[in-house]
Structure 1
Amino acid sequence: MNTTRRNFADRFINGIEWLAAIFVGIVALNIFVNVLLRKFFSTSIPDSYDFGRMLLGILIFWGIAATSYRGGHITVDLVWSALGQRGRRAVDVFATLVLLFVVIVQTTMLFDKVRGTYVDHVLTYDMNIPTWPFYAVAWAGDVCAVVLIAIRTWRLIVKPEALHDEHFEDRRTE
């Protein structure tokens, strides 16, 4: 049963990473097509600016989810590298708990933004498309970040060898 749970968690983590990658592709495609249309046809995609900035926001929040679990974000290892294995694990757990708290607060505030854009009926400029679904997708990425950081915290505390994090493992051997 533990293997089934672990496989589900790993599939969930991989799915989130794939979604983040898909959003990178969508943002790049939006920019590429818009540049081509402007250069060769003197036109652009209606609301491309609004779509671009909202898709970039979605990409950022799903990217937070993808990097938070793997530990792929920027770290400073000055104190960490001077500690023994128990001290390093304590620093890792503390840092992950702080990250979890910050992302929970961020997720709560982003939900207020989703609710606000829905209640205020905020629309895009050209085509008058409601913006709240874009904010909701970004919020879902933030919710996934909370879940992944909680999984990482649990694994750090209970079974740190269960983490499949190359960066994390590289740091342990330095």
Structure 2
Amino acid sequence: MKRDFMDRVIDTIEWLAALFIGIVALDIFVAVVLRKFFNTSIPDSYDFGKLLLGTLIFWGIAATSYRGTHITVDLVWSSASVRGKRYIDVFATLVLLFVVTVHTFAIFDKVRGTYHDHVQTFDLNLPVWPLYALAWAGDAAAVMLIAIRTWQLIFRPERLAEPAHGREVE
């Protein structure tokens, strides 16, 4: 199957989310080992873990929102006609687009605020705005991908057609 540009973008976003998960897991593992066996800690380990956890959540939202693989409740959707399912999908995606767009503006305000207030980590006094900006980029990617998904649901629904085994497990 030929992979188009959007598939490569989504794969990149998924790899970024996976990378952030790996970094958070490594941070926690090393911090626990150092604390348990060497009675020491990584400076700002808690701050970095907390900030990267938010980052990986936003990048994960970007990937799952485009693919439509997030957790769903399909009681009404599964009993609707094909046309009704499409209306439900478009409506739900528009609501998601609105919510994530508002959230992205709020996160941008937080990035701007932490930058102008010179908020720093506790131990190393490093600025935290770059990690907030990284999280914001994931949220902005989610807005872009949800907008693309909405456009495809309305004008090119065949591009988002699910495989035969797509939703019966949910």
Taking structure 1 as the reference length, the TM-score comes to 0.91
**Structure 2 spans left out of the alignment, 5+ residues:** none
Query: Which residue is equivalent to 1:97?
Result: 94
| SS of aligned partner of 1:112 | helix
Query: Which residue is equivalent to 1:121?
Result: 118
Distance 2:92 2:63 in 1: 17
Query: Which residue is equivalent to 2:105?
Result: 108
Distance 2:165 2:65 in 1: 15
What are the Cα deviations for residues 54-105 of structure 1, in whole angstroms up to 9, with x where unaligned?
0111111111111111112221111111110000011001100100010000
| SS of aligned partner of 1:170 | coil
Partner of residue 171 from structure 1, selected from 163, 167, 170 = 167
Partner of residue 150 from structure 1, selected from 137, 143, 147 = 147
Distance 1:95 1:33 in 2: 41
Distance 1:131 1:39 in 2: 27
Query: Which residue is equivalent to 1:44?
Result: 41
More helix by share: 1
Mapped contact 1:70–1:165 kept (Cα < 8 A): no
Displacement after TM superposition at 1:163 (Å): 2.1
CA separation of 1:98 and 1:169: change in aligned 2, threshold 3 A: farther
| SS of aligned partner of 1:12 | helix
Q: Which moved more, 1:152-161 or 1:119-128?
A: 152-161
Which letter maps to 2:82? Q
CA separation of 1:32 and 1:62: change in aligned 2, threshold 3 A: same
**Structure 1 spans left out of the alignment, 5+ residues:** none
| SS of aligned partner of 2:120 | coil
Q: How many residue pairs were aligned?
A: 169
What are the Cα deviations for residues 12-37 of structure 1, in whole angstroms up to 9, with x where unaligned?
11111111111111110110111111
CA RMSD of aligned residues (A): 2.1
Distance 1:82 1:10 in 2: 30
Displacement after TM superposition at 1:171 (Å): 3.0
